[in-house]
C-alpha cells in the first residue's frame, strides 16, 4: 500500500475499517474452505451456508442494536423459541390464520423487547439482569403454557405457504436470503441515514452527553430493545418456516452465536461503534467455519474447540478495544 492510500485508509473511521477486516476474514475462511474441501465453494453448498448464516444474521441484528448502546440481550433464545411456538400454536397449520399468527409471534417479540427496554431504561436494571430474567420468564411461560410442548395444538406445523416460501424460495433464491438482504438494507439505512441512527451512535458513545444534547436516551434505548425482540421473533418464525415445527431449545445456540457474530463483525462490545454490514460478514464467517468443519467430518469436540480458537484469533486481530496504555 502506498503512502497516499495508507493515509486515506487512516481517515476512514475505525468502525468502517473493521467492516473491511470482517469481510477479509469471511473471504479468507471461504477461500480456505474451497481449497481444502472441493465442493465447498459450489453454489449448493454456498447457498446452504448463506441460508444458515441468515438466521444468525437476524438474531445478530437485534443483538447489535443493543450492543451499540452498551447493552446486551440475553433473552434472545426464548424470545425466538417463544415466537416460534406462538406461530404454530396460533396458526394451527392453517394458511388463513397465517397473518394473525405472524402478527402474534412478532408481537410477542416486540412486547418482550419493549419490557426489556423499559426495565433497562426506566427502572435502571442492568441489561444483563433484565434480559436474563426475561429469558427465564419467557422460558417458563413457553414451557408452562404449552405443557412442555405437549399441548393439543403444539403438534401443529407452520402453515404451508410459509413453509413453501422458506424451503423453496423465490425464483431460485432462498427466501431467508431475500429477507436477510432486506434486513441488511433496513439496518444500514436506519443506522447511517436517519436521525434515529445518529442518536443511537451518540447514546452509545456517551449517553450523558447525548441526554444533554436533547436526545431522548430512554426512548432510543427502549426502541432498540424492542427491535431486538422483533428480530429474534423474526428468526423464530423463519426457523419454523424452514423446519416445519418448533422444538424446545430452538433458540439456545443463538445466544452466544449472536454475540460472537456481532463482535467478529467489528462492532465494539463497549458500544458506539460498528456497522451491520460487518455483522453480515461476521455471521457468514462463523457459519462457514462450522459448515466447513462439518463437511470435513470433524467431531463435535473438535468443532467447538476450533470455533473458539477462530473467535480468539479474530479478537486478537481486530476485536480489541483500545484501553490502557
Partner 1 sequence: MRPVPTRAETPASAEVLAVRASGVHRAFGGVQALRDASFAARPGEIHALAGENGAGKSTLIKVLCGLISADRGTVEIFGQQVRRVVEPAARRRLGVATAFQELSLLPDLTVAENLLLQDPPRGRLGLVRRSRLAPTADAILRRYGVDYIDSRATTADLSVAHRQIVELVRVLAQEPRVVILDEPTAALPDRQVEWLAGHMRRLRDEGCCVIFTSHRWREIEQLADRVTVFRNGTRVATRDRISESEAVTLMSGRTLEGTYPDVAALPVGETALRVDGLAGGRLRGVSFELRQGEILGVGGLAGQGQRDLFLTLFGARKAESGALRVGGEAVTVRRPKDAIRAGMGIAYVPEDRKAEGLFLPLSIRDNVALATLSRRSAAGFVRRGAERAAVASIGGQLRIGGGRATNQAVGTLSGGNQQKVVMARWLLTDARVLLLFDVTRGVDAATKHDIYQLVAELAAQGKAILFHSSETEEIANLCHRVLVLREGRISAELPGPVGDADRIVAASLKEVGDA
Partner 2 sequence: MREFMARLRLVPAQAGLGYVVLVATAAAYLVVYTSSLGRFPTSFDYLSILNTMLPLVFVAIGQSLVVLTGGIDLSVGGIVSLCVTVTATTVTGTGLAPFGWLLVVLALGAACGAVNGMIVAVGRIAPILATLATLSIFTGLALWVLPVPGGSIPPVVRNVLSNPNVPTGLIWLGVAVGGWLVLRRTRFGMRVYAIGSDETSARAVGVPAGRVKLGVYALSGLCSALAAIFYVSTTTAGDANAGAPFILTSIASVVVGGVAFTGGRGSALGAVAGAVALTLVIDVLFFAGIDPLYQSLFQGLFLVVAVLLGTAATFLTRRRRATP
Is the separation of the CB atoms in 45 and 39 below 8 Å? Answer: yes
Listed residue (30, 25, 50, 52) closest to 40, CA to CA: 30
Considering beta carbons, is residue 238 or 262 the nearer one to partner 2?
262
Site string for partner 1, 270-309 (x = CB under 8 A): --xx------------------------------------
Compute the distance between CA of residue 162 and CA of residue 68 in angstroms, rounded to an integer: 32
Half-sphere exposure of 33 (CA within 13 A, CB side): 26
Compute the distance between CA of residue 29 and CA of residue 21 in angstroms, rounded to an integer: 12
245 binds partner 1 per the rule CB under 8 A: no
| Residues 129-168 close enough to bind partner 2 by CB under 8 A | 129-130, 132-141, 143-144, 147-148
209 binds partner 1 per the rule CB under 8 A: yes
Residues in the chain: 325
| Residue with the three cell numbers 431467508 | 176
Kindly state the smallest distance separating residue 296's Cβ from partner 1, in Å. 40
- Answer for which of 43, 123, 144, 208 binds partner 1 (CB under 8 A) is 208
Considering beta carbons, is residue 300 or 321 the nearer one to partner 1?
321
215 binds partner 1 per the rule CB under 8 A: yes
Is the separation of the CB atoms in 184 and 261 below 8 Å? Answer: no
Total of chain residues touching partner 2, rule CB under 8 A: 50
319 binds partner 1 per the rule CB under 8 A: no
Kindly state the smallest distance separating residue 19's Cβ from partner 1, in Å. 15
Q: Which three cell numbers, joined as nine digits, stand for 201?
A: 451512535
Is the separation of the CB atoms in 26 and 288 below 8 Å? Answer: yes
Q: Which of partner 1, partner 2, none does residue 199 bind to, with CB < 5 to 8 Å depending on kind? A: partner 1
Amino acid at each position: 500500500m502506498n503512502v497516499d492510500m495508507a493515509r486515506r485508509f487512516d481517515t476512514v473511521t475505525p468502525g468502517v475499517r473493521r467492516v473491511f477486516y470482517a469481510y477479509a476474514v469471511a473471504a479468507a475462511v471461504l477461500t480456505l474452505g474451497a481449497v481444502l474441501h472441493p465442493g465447498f465453494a459450489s453454489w449448493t453448498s454456498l447457498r446452504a451456508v448463506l441460508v444458515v448464516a441468515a438466521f444468525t444474521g437476524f438474531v445478530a441484528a437485534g443483538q447489535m442494536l443493543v450492543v451499540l448502546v452498551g447493552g446486551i440481550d440475553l433473552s434472545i433464545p426464548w424470545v425466538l423459541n417463544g415466537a416460534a411456538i406462538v406461530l404454530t400454536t396460533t396458526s394451527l397449520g392453517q394458511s388463513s390464520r397465517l397473518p394473525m399468527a405472524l402478527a402474534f409471534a412478532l408481537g410477542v417479540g416486540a412486547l418482550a423487547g419493549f419490557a426489556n427496554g423499559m426495565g433497562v431504561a426506566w427502572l435502571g436494571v442492568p441489561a444483563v439482569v433484565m434480559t436474563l430474567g426475561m429469558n427465564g420468564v419467557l422460558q417458563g411461560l413457553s414451557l408452562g403454557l404449552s405443557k412442555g410442548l405437549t399441548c393439543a395444538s403444539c403438534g401443529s406445523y407452520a402453515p404451508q405457504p410459509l413453509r413453501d416460501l422458506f424451503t423453496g424460495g423465490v425464483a431460485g433464491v432462498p427466501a431467508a436470503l431475500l429477507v436477510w438482504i432486506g434486513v441488511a438494507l433496513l439496518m444500514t439505512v436506519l443506522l447511517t441515514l436517519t436521525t434515529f441512527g445518529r442518536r443511537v451512535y451518540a447514546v452509545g458513545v456517551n449517553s450523558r452527553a447525548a441526554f444533554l444534547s436533547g436526545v431522548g436516551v430512554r426512548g432510543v434505548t427502549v426502541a432498540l430493545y424492542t427491535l431486538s425482540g422483533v428480530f429474534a421473533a423474526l428468526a423464530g418464525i423463519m426457523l419454523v418456516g424452514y423446519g416445519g415445527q418448533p422444538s424446545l431449545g430452538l433458540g439456545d445456540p443463538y445466544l452466544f452465536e449472536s454475540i460472537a457474530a456481532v463482535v467478529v463483525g467489528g462492532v465494539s462490545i463497549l458500544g458506539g461503534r460498528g456497522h451491520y454490514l460487518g455483522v453480515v460478514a461476521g455471521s457468514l464467517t462463523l457459519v462457514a467455519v462450522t459448515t466447513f468443519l462439518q463437511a470435513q467430518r470433524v467431531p463435535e469436540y473438535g468443532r467447538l474447540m476450533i470455533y473458539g480458537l477462530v473467535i480468539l484469533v479474530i479478537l486478537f486481530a481486530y476485536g480489541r478495544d483500545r484501553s490502557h496504555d
